[in-house]
Structure 1
Amino acid sequence: MSRFAPLCLTAALLLPAWVQAQTPQQTYRRDVADCAAGRPGQSKADCLYEARSVLRDALARKPQPDSSPQALAANAVQRCQRQLPADRADCERLARGEGTQQGSVDDGAVVKQIVTRTVGPVPPLPASSPASAP
């Protein structure tokens, strides 16, 4: 065991409760109690207004989405589910990085293109009519 381990444990135990992780509501209650006790240089009304603002901002903050490469790739493929079934396979191929890309965000657009060639039956040549023969 490191000689610093007891020191770190002691420091963690000595931390005030408000430094440890709290919910926004717990932080708000602590701030309101501090306002009631009186904060130097701040009126009680201003203090309570600030406490409400901090709570509102904390509650409005949404968790950040996973930005790992795997999560971004899965998200891109998932967005293809909104495409028409006929276009979905091409969308998924583009999402996986196939095709070509031109431009950039700085240029104002990123254009992605994928070319799919299909070979169908060859249409018959039009028959020449006797009137059009020389």
Structure 2
Amino acid sequence: RVKVAEDTTGATLQGFVRRHAVPGAKVFTDEATAYIGLGRDFDHAAVNHSVGEYVRGMVSTNGMESFWAALRRAYKGVYHKISAKHLGRYVGDFAGRHGIRGLDTLDMMGYLAGGMRGKRLTYRALIADNGLHSGARS
């Protein structure tokens, strides 16, 4: 599951993990201090990137790192500009693409068409004020 975080504080990041993972689940992170305390409810292990540790046995963040690397490439090659106002839409779009990347073209098209059924984004909703800057020049 991918979600845009309001900030990178321990309360925010740990809250996300607690809402989306079952107690006792394996949770692998980097050494960021925001994750300290996850071990109380989860089987938490961290790799220490600052000393060159990226994998330790089964512990790694490589899956997430590859997702973010691909998202950064998409920013440069597909989206070109991502506004704070629509960041959640861009990330959701990319996460959806990432999740079906192993399907062949016809299966991918069927999956996408099925996902669009009953969904509509009106222009009014697209431009509605959500309190975040659109990046558009006024």
Structure with higher RCO (Cα < 8 A, 6+ apart): 2
Higher CA-based Rg: 1
Q: TM bucket by the smaller chain? A: under 0.3
Alignment TM-score, normalising by the size of structure 2:
0.24
The TM-score with structure 1 as length reference comes to 0.24
Structure that is richer in helix per residue: 1
